[in-house]
Amino acid sequence: MAGQAPAPDSNRVQIFDTTLRDGEQSPGISLNKQEKVEIAHQLARLGVDVIEAGFPITSPGDFEAVEAIAREVEGPVVCGLARTHKADIDSAWNAIRASQRPRIHTFISTSEIHIQHQLQTTHEDVKGQARAAVALAKSLCEDVEFSPMDATRADVDFTAEVCAIAVAEGATVVNIPDTVGYTTPEEYTRYLGRLYELVPGLADVVVSVHCHDDLGLAVANSYAGVLAGARQVECAVNGIGERAGNCSLEEIVMLLRTRTDEHGFDTGVDARELARTSRMVSRLTGYQVQPNKAIVGRNAFAHESGIHQDGVLKERTTYEIMDPTAVGLESNSIVLGKHSGRHALKDALEQLGFKVEGGALNQAFKRFKEVADRKKQVTALDLEAIVSDEMRERTDSYGLGWFEVEAGSRKEPVARVAVRLPSGEESVGESGGDGPVDAIFGAIRAAIETECELRQFTVSAVTEGEDALGEVTVMLRAHGRLASGQGVATDILEASARAYVRALSNALDGAAVREAEGLTEDAARLPATPGP
């Protein structure tokens, strides 16, 4: 069936998750290795087909995280991104080779704008680079994906020539990216249709779509791509990614599942894990989910108007097209209290998918007891929040020791904060401020002896109720680097202090890595040319 999209009975769509690569390129996200591995384990539980674990050439930290994921995470294909340079491909291969199912993903732009202004090269050179890169990748790894970057703004005939080269060199997946979120569903359908005509070999490989959300069309365009023949969708949890982000994983998965009557497609994802995955990614990245976000937003299944409430009470399907339990919402059934022991905690954590043992279990138990002393019931949502909070604690970086603050409406606030330094010593800072939080932040800066600019400060409650745990996200810029940090505690001042120390740590760690490598801010992500 040369020159055609796949037969309609091949209705399984592969989910290629790029949360840890394209998603991690969002400004201010600074996941450490342990956090990336934890997200990758959750993605495996969710049942994605491919995890794009990172872009190994960009930094030693990224390399190590991809390597750890390849070693530890079983099930999905583990993919590493590489430009067409030999060094990138070698680095990607070295990072993923321990995986049972490794894939190298290499890319080069085919649009005139990128070739002229960014690559500053010729069409012939682009073809040569694509050929050499896929051939090299194929000599190392059986599974090779190729992407003509900015394809949707490129001449379709030229993109077709480059894709044909990639297929001839053995690419197993050809991905057609809408890199700047410019295309429309109709245009993308035509573009893919034309590629199928021009490149007969596309019928024998998996065609993939990778759509950005600059015009809010990432999910619609990805869906159009599937209808046009693509059988892999590249997406990210909560839709995070460069600029406006990527196609949202939970939205495309539930679109395919909910309307399978209409199109016949489905994925292998266990949708009951969607809500938890979304919470984990939001918590660890500091990127909050908007309340009205489809599928995983706080209000996605909330009914406010009387008529709707009345309808849902009589029959859920009157105003709900999906069952919230099918996406893992309202699954807050685990309840522990202050008399629950270590064993009950371990069991509950296992049910939630966390394997916590030894010292980590002792620490989690200590935190659990502190929370249980102040909060009547500790639920699954609380446990998730506590464990994620513990996961962020690093002994090799700055940490919160203790704090005290005096404040009131009739006196100037004063805070004293002890910060644990990477050397293990404690440093105490003191400061006034516009309020208790501002004073605490000032005292932390004094203790660390650094300056920074606060960009974002948000407080939310983990669950409902007056005794809910508070969760704080801080985003700040220090030493030229934007970084975020989160903190969870029953007291929002403590959560704020934890979040601020972690954000500063992330910024200072990143700055230190850049300095050691002699890299600038942009170059820290991608040494030779700007990223995708």
Using the minimum distance from each CB to ligand KIV, give the nearer residue, 16 or 265: 16
185-214 residues labelled b (16+ CB within 10 A) or e (exposed): beebbebbeebbebbebbbebbbbbbbbbb
17: helix, strand or coil: strand
Binding positions for Zn ion, 492-521, rule CB under 5 A: none
- Asked if 88 touches Zn ion (CB under 5 A), the answer is no
- Asked if 22 touches ligand KIV (CB under 6 A), the answer is yes
Stretch that binds ligand KIV, among 117-125, 132-140, 173-181, 496-504 (CB under 6 A): 173-181
- Asked if 438 touches Zn ion (CB under 5 A), the answer is no
Q: Are strands 470-478 and 453-461 parallel, antiparallel or unpaired?
A: antiparallel
- Asked if 84 touches ligand KIV (CB under 6 A), the answer is no
Across the strands, what pairs with 50?
A: 16, 77
Structure token pair of residue 205: 């490989």
CA dihedral 44, 45, 47, 51 (to 10 degrees): -20
What one-character-per-residue DSSP string does 33-46 give? HHHHHHHHHHHHHH
Q: Tell me the site size for ligand KIV, rule CB under 6 A.
A: 10
Give long-range contacts, CB 8 A cutoff, 24+ apart: 289-295.
289/238, 293/238, 293/239, 293/248, 294/248, 294/250, 294/251, 294/254, 295/248, 295/250, 295/251, 295/254, 295/322, 295/327
- Asked if 22 touches Zn ion (CB under 5 A), the answer is yes
Binding positions for ligand KIV, 90-129, rule CB under 6 A: 107
Helices (H) and strands (E) in the chain, counts: 18, 16
- Asked if 384 touches Zn ion (CB under 5 A), the answer is no
448 Cβ contact list (under 8 Å, min separation 6): 398, 419, 421, 427, 429, 504, 508
147 binds, among Zn ion, ligand KIV, none (CB under 5 to 8 A by kind): ligand KIV
- Asked if 145 touches Zn ion (CB under 5 A), the answer is no
The distance of closest approach from Cβ of residue 87 to ligand KIV in the complex, given in angstroms and rounded to an integer, is: 17
- Asked if 14 touches ligand KIV (CB under 6 A), the answer is no
- Asked if 146 touches ligand KIV (CB under 6 A), the answer is no
The distance of closest approach from Cβ of residue 210 to Zn ion in the complex, given in angstroms and rounded to an integer, is: 6
The distance of closest approach from Cβ of residue 527 to ligand KIV in the complex, given in angstroms and rounded to an integer, is: 16
Structure token pair of residue 409: 């409406």
414 to 144, 452, 495: CA distances (angstroms): 58, 19, 18
250 binds, among Zn ion, ligand KIV, none (CB under 5 to 8 A by kind): none
The distance of closest approach from Cβ of residue 149 to Zn ion in the complex, given in angstroms and rounded to an integer, is: 8
231 binds, among ligand KIV, Zn ion, none (CB under 5 to 8 A by kind): none
418 to 90, 94, 220, 488, 510: CA distances (angstroms): 45, 42, 50, 18, 22
Closest residue by beta carbon to Zn ion? 22
| Secondary structure of 89-155 in HEC code, one letter for each residue | HHHHHHHHCCCCCEEEEEEEECCHHHHHHHHCCCHHHHHHHHHHHHHHHHHHCCCEEEEEECHHHCC
- Asked if 389 touches Zn ion (CB under 5 A), the answer is no
107 binds, among ligand KIV, Zn ion, none (CB under 5 to 8 A by kind): ligand KIV
- Asked if 210 touches ligand KIV (CB under 6 A), the answer is yes
Stretch that binds Zn ion, among 20-28, 49-57, 302-310, 487-495 (CB under 5 A): 20-28
Helical spans, DSSP H, in 169-211: 185-198
Across the strands, what pairs with 489?
A: 470
Stretch that binds ligand KIV, among 171-179, 373-381, 397-405, 446-454 (CB under 6 A): 171-179
Ranges assigned E (strand) in 154-246: 173-178, 206-211, 232-235
The distance of closest approach from Cβ of residue 289 to ligand KIV in the complex, given in angstroms and rounded to an integer, is: 22
149 binds, among ligand KIV, Zn ion, none (CB under 5 to 8 A by kind): ligand KIV
196 binds, among Zn ion, ligand KIV, none (CB under 5 to 8 A by kind): none
Using the minimum distance from each CB to ligand KIV, give the nearer residue, 13 or 154: 154
The distance of closest approach from Cβ of residue 249 to Zn ion in the complex, given in angstroms and rounded to an integer, is: 14
Gap between the Cα atoms of 181 and 408, Å rounded: 49
CA 324 to chain centre: 22
Report the residue from 19, 26, 111, 147 that binds ligand KIV according to the rule CB under 6 A: 147
Q: Tell me the site size for Zn ion, rule CB under 5 A.
A: 2
- Asked if 32 touches ligand KIV (CB under 6 A), the answer is no
- The residue among 60, 130, 47 whose CA lies nearest residue 95 is 60
- Asked if 470 touches ligand KIV (CB under 6 A), the answer is no
34-57 residues labelled b (16+ CB within 10 A) or e (exposed): ebbbbbbbbbbbbbbbbbbbbbbb
Report the residue from 91, 179, 484, 490 that binds ligand KIV according to the rule CB under 6 A: 179
The distance of closest approach from Cβ of residue 16 to ligand KIV in the complex, given in angstroms and rounded to an integer, is: 10
Q: What are phi and psi of 370, to 5 degrees?
A: -60, -45
- Asked if 273 touches ligand KIV (CB under 6 A), the answer is no
- Asked if 177 touches ligand KIV (CB under 6 A), the answer is yes
The distance of closest approach from Cβ of residue 444 to ligand KIV in the complex, given in angstroms and rounded to an integer, is: 36
Sign of CA dihedral 301, 303, 307, 309: positive
- Asked if 67 touches Zn ion (CB under 5 A), the answer is no
- Cβ distance 144 to 134 under 8 Å? yes
Using the minimum distance from each CB to Zn ion, give the nearer residue, 61 or 181: 181
- Asked if 279 touches ligand KIV (CB under 6 A), the answer is no
Using the minimum distance from each CB to Zn ion, give the nearer residue, 23 or 485: 23
Positions touching Zn ion (CB under 5 A) are: 22, 532
Positions touching ligand KIV (CB under 6 A) are: 22, 107, 147, 149, 175, 177, 179, 210, 212, 532
